[in-house]
Structure 1
């Protein structure tokens, strides 16, 4: 069997027709977008597309990165996406012709090149988008391109951020603290590049914009987002450390902002210090009320930039993080992100822990909410996803508070 026949046999199946049709559509479109939305109507489509793309597929649809799809088919078949489409459809891919003039291509590409970004996977699609939809006057384009490239070079576009910077401070580097305010030309262009880089939809509201900024390492400001902490065993004897320790002595937790963390001493804790991270402030409140002096941080369902910054500081000091969250899909996604980004160790987050908590809830006749949403992977215990989906019940942290507090006290 020839290579083409092998590819046709593997790819020309009903479950993959939607993938190949959408891929051809974007490859032949004038602007050649970097991603496309793909509907996944049934289990057969989800399984087939996941096999080709290289990751599990959940729900009724997903967003496909053209470059990642090209990499996946090259790794599997030894030819690129265009060659696969030509074999499946029996005709070559026609190159799209942009209707937009290339009059402004040089300033954008030059500015990106100066910052080492010209070869980024998102760069070409972003340049085309700016020309077609960016609404930037030709005379203004060189200055806008320079400012955008300067900002983009400071963002985390290919991985989690190592640090967070307030948006006004970042904008000031490009000449004006208000350049990245909501609705400005520069913020719109930078967020489009960030969306392309992270393979997500361009944000359509302020909440989505704030989430994308934070994903790139940019906080709305340095004071409003905080990390709720309890009993941090700080090693310093400076005024900052004494202030935090003083609140613990009074039986009070502390909210640390990015500004607080910037004023903190270089080292916070000793190597090997165990620090627990929970999802819900109710767990931290209970620990405070019972006088449990184990270090604890409440991350919430969507950890703020201050939480991430504090966790990075603690892990850099050699602290050992243990994370727990609700047994629902957002909770296990939070646990996964904390293990991936900060090396946290799952704490009472196994499939057996879930079963035990279900049994305790049943014995106490506790009503549990239904488990809704898209299943999330649990790589530390792959069985957990299956067990949760099978039982279809969510378990808030509060339902097994006594077991968590016992761990924090060191009982047993």
Structure 2
């Protein structure tokens, strides 16, 4: 059954006819809410089940944005599409000239008025943003200050926490989940990124991170060992003391924010691995070669650290599991300044041979293939052999490299 047929069958019932007529009028006039008459119990029941709350009395006020959310959550389509299927296309009113003049200069102050997403975002804020007229200019102004500090058009090279970003406009909790400001900022970010509006916590976190904003300054960490920090400050001394004690250092965004501008001397060679087992083995064997562990796909803290070290002129060599998530992790690390280390097709073939010789059972390679641009034959070999090789199965050659020095 086509989507339009499903919409007509589920939503084109007589009890909802008044709802769609009123909604169409609200959409065409860009009204955020509308009054709906509820003449009988059947109408109250049908509207209440769709809207998500019981209906009482002879009438109620319906929020356009809440109705749109209810439709998307239950049917996967928005209000405009439903109304178009049931009653024809909606001619949405353009913002009044004086409104445009009032709001566009606010965006222009921050260099945002000429972006492709500015006009549709302002229309969305008026229509679906649940922002009162009296608050509109203030919310757009605050949102513009936040958006100007985000990475909307290019991949981020550094990350700031939401609390720090909110603090720039004087309200540390204004970007917490559920606030008006966070809602309208995320909508602008989604439009700028060409992404769907986030519908859950995971999607919201992902969108924030894509724009250079970490949920907080402490939850994302990166595991390090023997970083050759060169400063004579207390922060550098603290990292060195962890190494002297034979202990790794977990660094967060808060740690990196407190670090000196230069972390390591130019030319420092640092190994980057995916699996914590590699870093642990280096510590146990008293190898003082610097190691950074990604622990899977690099966190924002790991990516920020790699960016800092690359800017210092460090040489970063990355190794990961020979499986598709490992290849994805290596690719992500490459975007932040690393080069592959024992990640060629020949290295994969050698690891297969060692496993065969040692009678090691290797897991089946699963998932969609990921390109290996540094050595295209690697992806072909992995696809053909269909075996995954974790770093701990290639541990000895990696430790030998660390012992000799990369």
- Using the size of structure 2 for normalisation, the TM-score is 0.72
- 8 Å Cα contact 1:107-1:145 kept in structure 2: no
Gaps of 5+ in 2: 1-26, 29-88
For residues 334 and 174 of structure 1, do their structure 2 counterparts lie closer, same or farther at Cα, with a shift above 3 Å needed?
same
Does 1:102 pair with 2:95? yes
Query: Is the contact between residue 100 and residue 131 of structure 1 (CA under 8 Å) also seen in structure 2?
Result: no
Distance 1:377 1:118, change over 3 A: farther
Unaligned runs of 5+ in 1: 1-29, 32-95
SS of the counterpart of 1:161? coil
1:230 aligns with 2:225: yes
Instruction: Identify the match of residue 399 of structure 2 among 378, 391, 405.
Output: 405
1:343 equivalent in alignment to 2:337: yes
Q: 1:387 aligned to 2:381? A: yes
Which residue number corresponds to residue 368 of structure 1? 362
In the TM superposition, residue 273 of structure 1 has moved relative to its aligned partner by 0.5
In the TM superposition, residue 386 of structure 1 has moved relative to its aligned partner by 2.3
In structure 2, distance between residues paired with 1:102 and 1:163: 36
Q: Does 1:163 align with 2:158?
A: yes
When residues 128 and 357 of structure 1 are mapped into structure 2, their CA distance, relative to the original with a 3 A threshold, is farther
Shift of 1:109: 3.1
The offset of 1:106, in angstroms, is 4.7
Q: 1:174 to 1:389 in 2, by over 3 A?
A: same
The structure with more radius of gyration = 2
Contact 1:105 1:131 in 2 (8 A): no
Task: Say if 1:107 and 1:403 are closer, same or farther in 2 by CA, change over 3 A.
Answer: farther
Shift in Å at residue 107 of structure 1? 4.6
Deviation of the 1:395 alpha carbon: 1.9
- Pairwise CA distance, 1:187: 1.1
Q: Structure 2: how far apart are the matches of 1:358 and 1:186?
A: 53
Q: Structure 1 residues 182 and 337, CA, compared in 2 at 3 Å: closer, same or farther? A: same
What displacement does 1:150 show?
0.9
- 1:139 and 2:138 correspond: no
Match for residue 316 of structure 1? 311
Partners of 1:171 and 1:177 within 8 A in 2: yes
TM-align CA RMSD: 2.3
Counterpart pick for 2:247 among 243, 248, 252:
252
Compared CA separation, residues 194 and 252, structure 1 to 2 (3 A): same
Post-superposition offset of 1:98:
4.5
How far, CA to CA, are the matches of 1:267 and 1:151 in structure 2?
Answer: 27
Q: Do structure 1's residue 127 and structure 2's residue 122 form an aligned pair?
A: yes
Q: Do residues 359 (structure 1) and 353 (structure 2) align? A: yes
Residue correspondences, number: 318
Mean Cα deviation higher: 267-276 or 353-362 = 353-362
Query: Equivalents in 1 of 2:133, 2:388: separation in Å?
Result: 54
The answer to whether the 8 Å contact 1:107/1:141 transfers is no
Rounded to whole Å, the distance in 2 between the matches of 1:106 and 1:370 is 61
Cross-structure match for 1:25: none
Whether the 8 Å CA contact 1:179–1:187 is kept in 2: the answer is yes
Q: Does residue 192 of structure 2 align to residue 221 of structure 1?
A: no
Per-residue CA deviation, residues 357-379 of structure 1 (Å, 9 max, x unaligned), is: 22222332323223222322222
Secondary structure of the structure 2 residue equivalent to 1:395: coil
Q: Tell me how far apart the structure 2 counterparts of residues 386 and 111 of structure 1 sit (CA, whole Å).
A: 52
Q: CA deviation at 1:101?
A: 4.9
> Counterparts of 2:152 and 2:281 in 1: how far apart (Å)?
38
Task: Give the aligned partner of residue 211 of structure 1.
Answer: 206
